[in-house]
Each structure stands twice: as structure tokens, then as C-alpha cells.
Amino acid sequence: MNLLYRPLSLVISVLGGVLASAVFKRVWRAVSGEAEAPEATSPDHRTREVLLAALLQGAIFGVVKAGLDRAGAKGFRRLTGKELDD
């Protein structure tokens, strides 16, 4: 059954990345007032700001990925009546 889920999982992952990126940009703009998050190698930003951006980005991506993975698995289960094998 996992073979049927793989294409759906791939689409969910791509959409999740796009969604997480958009959410992060909005949150970063609201938190910092800057349009773009600092790059890790940027000499124009303090280490604390770079690490905060990385922490926030990782948290958002993790939550979006887990939420979409969970929704995809539940939707697959509802449509097929089958559990996904890990």
C-alpha cells in the first residue's frame, strides 16, 4: 500500500515546503520588520539574530511537515481504509 502513497507523499512534501517558506517569511517580517531573514554568513547581522531566524524557520518547517504528513496519512486511510506501513 505504501507504493500508492508515495506519489501523494511527494506532492504533499513539495506543497509543504512552499507553505512553510511563505509562513516563515510572514512571521519573520512580523517579528523583525525585515523582508528577508539573515543568511548564516551575513556580516551585517548579529549571531543571536541569525540563530533566532534559524530556530524559527526550523520550528515552522517541522510543524508544517508534521501537520501535512499527518493529514496526508489520515486522508489516505479514509480513502483506502488501509494503514500505512512504516
Predicted local distance difference test score (pLDDT) of residue 28: 95
Q: How far apart are CA 30 and CA 53, in angstroms?
A: 12
4 pLDDT more than 80: no
Range among 40-44, 73-77, 80-84 with highest mean pLDDT value: 40-44
**Residue-wise pLDDT tens digits, 8-60:** 888 888 999 999 999 999 999 999 999 999 999 999 999 999 999 999 999 99
Cβ 84 vs Cβ 28: under 8 Å: no
Cβ-based neighbour number of residue 37 at 10 Å: 22
CB-based burial of residue 14 (10 Å sphere; 0-12 exposed, 13-18 middle, 19+ buried)? exposed
Predicted local distance difference test score (pLDDT) of residue 14: 92
76 pLDDT more than 70: yes
Cβ 5 vs Cβ 75: under 8 Å: no
63 pLDDT more than 90: yes
pTM: 0.81
Q: How far apart are CA 27 and CA 52, in angstroms?
A: 12
Cβ 46 vs Cβ 38: under 8 Å: no
